[in-house]
Structure 1
Amino acid sequence: MRVPDLWNPQLTKMLGDLNRQFGSDVFIAVNADRMHMDIVMNPGSYGFVTSKIACCGQGPYNGIGLCTIFSNVCSNRDAYVFWDAYHPTERANRIIVSHFMTGSSEYMYPMNLSTILKLDAQNQY
């Protein structure tokens, strides 16, 4: 079992307890790991060609080291989930951020940022 699989449910429970204690949804849990893994495991459903090869790097799958002047560089970074061995591409990061804004409770609990902003706007004087 992966650490986030143990950590995230406990974090969500703790934040729910804190929100009940304060009587308001002050704390929000973000499951960025799940967002990221959904893209990695199903790249085609997000419009990517692959999540197994980085756009820029060295060695097998461009998975060794960071992007340098000695790296192999892909021709279309929007087709790749990973920029280098460690970092998502800009397009993958934009998808993750869109989940922060409008994602379901499987990614954001108890609500996403759009809901928070809407509630905050309603409470303005």
Structure 2
Amino acid sequence: MMDCSAMNMGFKRSPPPFLAVANRTNNQVFRGLLGANFASAGSGILDTTGSSIIPLSQQVAQFAAVQRNISARVSQGAAGAVLSRSLFLLSTGGNDLFAFFARNSTPSDADARRFVANLVSLYQNHVKALYVLGARKFAVIDVPPIGCCPYPRSLHPLGACIDALNELARGFNKGLRDAMRGLGSSFQGLKYSVGSSHAVVQSIMKHPQRLGFKDTTNACCGSGRFNGKSGCTPNATLCGNRHEYLFWDLLHPTHAASKVAAAAIYNGSLHFAAPVNFRQLVEDQQC
């Protein structure tokens, strides 16, 4: 969805990896015409989520290094102006919830609330750190109903969505909305939009054919039940009509689904992005 979001903003493709711009002169970056990508596949809000990946805390640290590089090459005022107009796109949390569920598939309500509260608090701290470094516009994407991915479905005796995972996602999303609302009212000049991938996926699952989808339960590429027992490997079963599938593999959406989600979040109603959509946040010139 990040690629599609970048294209909705007018870019031909996603910004290059930060290492491509961190230590070299790039006038497009310094003039605010090109961004940088700090993302790491499989990472999360917690430093312990995933393996051999770069968690959000280190991604923020990497941005700090790039920010210093920009400030060293242009005036402090010019650097601040570039950063304040830039959009900081954040999409994380799902991997942390999966990791928690893997450790405890039947958490108590109290355990789940404590975990989610800690996760949201850490997320909030990372946003504050980016604000201190000059960020002012935050486009944040929430967590979809991850209990309905093919892999969790493959674990359910009846093939249904895993309620415990979906409850974690709903709790996190509510905490995220509340946290961003609080930051928006407490930090001068901070503007934000929370894009709801959760609402988009629910809409696709409720009315798949209206949006061009025929299969919202099976993965296009994989093996086993719902094609959700393994990833998309060379020996996996591959569908012939991936654009009609919600899920590409055991956990991830297809390009078609990502395109629908990005369009809804960028141009859609408050149901899909609030308090403004991503386009309105991008076009806001008051930062």
Which of 43, 46, 71 is residue 236 of structure 2 equivalent to? 71
Alignment match, 2:259: 94
Alignment match, 1:112: 277
Of residues 109-118 and 29-38 in structure 1, the stretch that sits farther from structure 2 once superposed is 29-38
SS of the equivalent of 2:216 reads: coil
State whether structure 2 residue 80 is matched by structure 1 residue 80.
no
Q: CA deviation at 1:94?
A: 0.7
Which of 11, 18, 36 is residue 201 of structure 2 equivalent to? 36
Question: Paired residues, what number?
Answer: 122
Alignment match, 1:10: 175
Alignment match, 1:51: 216
Paired residue type of 1:91: A
Paired residue type of 1:86: L
Q: CA deviation at 1:23?
A: 5.4
Tell me how far apart the structure 2 counterparts of residues 17 and 84 of structure 1 sit (CA, whole Å): 36
CA contact (8 A) 2:267 2:278 kept: yes
Alignment match, 2:12: none
Q: CA deviation at 1:34?
A: 2.6
Tell me how far apart the structure 1 counterparts of residues 169 and 223 of structure 2 sit (CA, whole Å): 29
Structural RMSD (CA): 2.2
Where does the alignment leave 5 or more consecutive residues of structure 2 unmatched? 1-162
Paired residue type of 2:169: P
Tell me how far apart the structure 2 counterparts of residues 59 and 103 of structure 1 sit (CA, whole Å): 36
Give CA deviations for 1:69-117 in whole Å, capped at 9, x if unaligned.
2111111111111111111111001111112211222221111111122
Paired residue type of 1:3: L
Query: Given the superposition, is the C-alpha separation of residues 45 and 25 from structure 1 closer, same or farther in structure 2, using an over 3 Å criterion?
Result: farther
Where does the alignment leave 5 or more consecutive residues of structure 1 unmatched? none
TM-score relative to the length of structure 1: 0.81
Q: CA deviation at 1:9?
A: 2.4
Of residues 67-76 and 4-13 in structure 1, the stretch that sits farther from structure 2 once superposed is 4-13
| Structure whose alpha-carbon radius of gyration is higher | 2
Tell me how far apart the structure 2 counterparts of residues 104 and 39 of structure 1 sit (CA, whole Å): 16
Tell me how far apart the structure 2 counterparts of residues 86 and 73 of structure 1 sit (CA, whole Å): 15
Of residues 88-97 and 25-34 in structure 1, the stretch that sits farther from structure 2 once superposed is 25-34
Tell me how far apart the structure 1 counterparts of residues 248 and 240 of structure 2 sit (CA, whole Å): 12
TM-score relative to the length of structure 2: 0.39
CA contact (8 A) 1:53 1:62 kept: yes
